[in-house]
Amino acid sequence: MIGDKKNQKGFSLIEVVVSTGIFAIFFIIIIDIFITTNNTQNKIKTSQNLKVDVKNILEKIILDIKSSEILYDFYISSETQNYIIQNPDYRLALERDDKNVYYRLGTENCYEGVTTCIEYSEDGTSWDSLTSRNINVEIFDIYISPKSNPFAYLPLSNADCLGDTYNGNGACECSSTSDCYLDQLCDAGICQNPEKMPIVTLVIRATSINSKEEESIEFQSTTSTRKYLK
């Protein structure tokens, strides 16, 4: 009979509980997929931003190297007058026609929250951070070859030679390479400057600091300066 309430059935309590449980399981699965996808996208975005930041820094420094010469005088010890380039070094000094430029791994001029950064200067005194506020630079290694200036002037006296071996004709005499300054070679009894173009290798490793998951990236590049004399 129409309207007979005795023949109408509803959901039992067990059916409601089971349905709610199944719905909750599917809801949890969907939320988990959403969170995982979101975290993956954030990780990829952080990695891409870090890669772009470090690559831009590296390209700027390489461009300066290609348009400059190594400022070898910057690496001369005031005490021994010898070159004190360390490989790796954390300082890069370049000489251009209009101005000198300097790079170093520093801590004094970094953005707040950044431990170490790459610093830039045009006078060797006033420094600014070259890296952004989103990355911490762990490694800024600089390899310079040769370690001594291949375009250095010829010696003029015993003071310019190891062991007072000046021969009076613009050269230091030698019996082995140990009688010559760093990176010089003993050839035919004369200390010779290396006939090679200065080359700089840069290694940069940086870490993102404004993300939930720490991302690190490392770049390495080798380039030569603009000057070559033989």
Q: What is the pLDDT along the chain (230 residues), one digit of tens a residue?
A: 455 555 555 567 777 777 788 888 888 888 888 777 777 777 777 788 889 999 999 999 999 999 898 998 888 877 666 667 888 889 999 998 778 999 999 999 999 889 999 999 998 889 999 998 889 999 999 999 888 777 765 677 777 787 778 888 878 889 888 888 766 788 889 888 766 788 999 999 999 887 666 788 999 999 988 755 44
Count of the separate structural domains present in the chain = 2
103/182 same-domain check: no
List the domain range (segments joined by +) for residue 145.
13-151+197-230
42 sits in the region (left: phi over 0; alpha: psi -120 to 50; else beta) called alpha
Does 5 map to a domain? no
Same domain, 108 and 187: no
Q: Does 89 reside within a domain?
A: yes
Instruction: Check whether residue 167 and residue 228 sit in a common domain.
Output: no
My answer on whether 23 and 116 are in the same domain is: yes
- What is the three-class DSSP state of 31? helix
Do residue 22 and residue 77 come from a single domain? Answer: yes
Co-location of 181 and 211 in the same domain: no
Quick one: 98 exposed, middle or buried, by C-beta within 10 A (0-12, 13-18, 19+)?
exposed
Residue 143 DSSP class: E
Q: Is residue 7 one of the residues assigned to a domain? A: no
Q: Based on the domain organization, do 65 and 173 belong to the same domain?
A: no
CA atoms within 13 A on the CB side of 125: 1
* Residues 77 and 127 grouped into a single domain: yes
Kindly report the backbone phi and psi dihedral angles of residue 145, in degrees, each rounded to the nearest multiple of 5, phi listed first.
-135, 130
